[in-house]
Copies of this chain bind each other. A is one copy, B any other.
Amino acid sequence: MHDFNTLNALLVDYIDSQKFNQGPQNLYEPVRYILKIGGKRIRPILSLMAAQLFEGDPKTVLPGAFAVEMFHNFSLLHDDIMDEAPLRRGKEAVHIKYGLNAGILSGDVMLVLVYQYLLKMKDAADFAFLTAQFNQAAIEVCEGQQLDVDFETRSEVSEKEYLSMIEKKTAALLGVALTVGAAPFTSQRNLELLDDFGRNLGISFQLIDDLLDTFGDTHKVGKQKGGDIIQNKKTILVIRALENASADQKKELRNWYSSEKEHNHKEKIDAVSQLFIETGAKSATEKLADDYQERAIYAMEKIDASEELKGPLLDLARKLLNREH
């Protein structure tokens, strides 16, 4: 069984060996660029580990793993345009480096390439099933992104709506990453449990992300603390705080989140963080993140595979949630 680093090396070799088309440089150069500036490739590694969970050869599912990574990078590319983000992983975002049009069109061809790589799995797994699973996740990612945008301008968002949004936007792709990797080697029942594992892991991950943005160690998290508060983002903390708040606390929160007023950043972060603690939103979110982590572990327990083979996936999940990766 290969460990994380060996699987990562396998994946990097595979990605580097892909020539794409001999087609227009201006179309494929941004594709190579965003794949190159990389990131941690958690999703395709999950695919390879999912193959190993059922004693499958991870090499068999490299095209599927790459399809997942391609999709993830496609969505980052287009999201960066929509968010007007200048940087991606500390480097110039594609639309800044190559222009808006290249960003749109190269993203489009990446989405087609996703299906092109998925197609390379046709002899290993039920291709129609793989496509159905992938389409479902891809549609959810688009819907999750739209919901995230919608929430910015809505006055009330329920906890249920928020959880549904992060499941679509973040967690669905973790589920399908695992499904794609395991599909050639196991039963429908195990695939469903694995998808469940990935989705719950993804939701827990995102909830912890919300917590860390406000309460995390800036050094460890690697970004400015309180960014979500400054941007008036409707995270689970705000939603929970408003639900639990007394009339006075609610008034105070609404005042800080009023976009009509200019607030001192540090004062706002300090006061809102305090309100998150006092209303119990922080502890409730920690509890919720734990719940989803437990659901993930419970799904994994029910999977019909040896404890030994489950080890690496559970270990990676734990590291992800503890931000050790």
Contacts and interface: CB of A to CB of B under 8 A. Distances in A.
Interface of A: 21, 23-24, 26-27, 78, 81-82, 100-101, 104-105, 107-109, 111-113, 115-116, 119, 122, 127-128, 131-132, 135, 138-139, 142-143, 145-147, 149-150
A118 B147 CA distance: 26
Contacts of A116: 135, 139
Of A21, A128, A132, A142, most buried by chain B (CB within 10 Å of CB) is: A142
A133 to B, nearest CB: 11
A162 B150 CA distance: 43
Oligomeric state, in copies: 2
Contacts of A145: 105
Contact of A142 (B81, B112, B115, B139): B112
Chain A binding surface, main DSSP class: helix
B101 A82 contact: yes
A23 B143 contact: yes
Contacts of A81: 101, 104
Contacts of A135: 112, 115-116, 119
A138 B82 CA distance: 23
Contacts of A128: 119, 122, 127
A24 B149 CA distance: 10
B108 A24 contact: no
Contacts of A149: 26, 101, 105
Contacts of A21: 139, 143
Given A105-B142, A108-B111, 11 more contacts: A21-B139, A23-B139, A24-B143, A78-B108, A101-B149, A104-B104, A105-B149, A111-B111, A112-B135, A115-B131, A131-B131
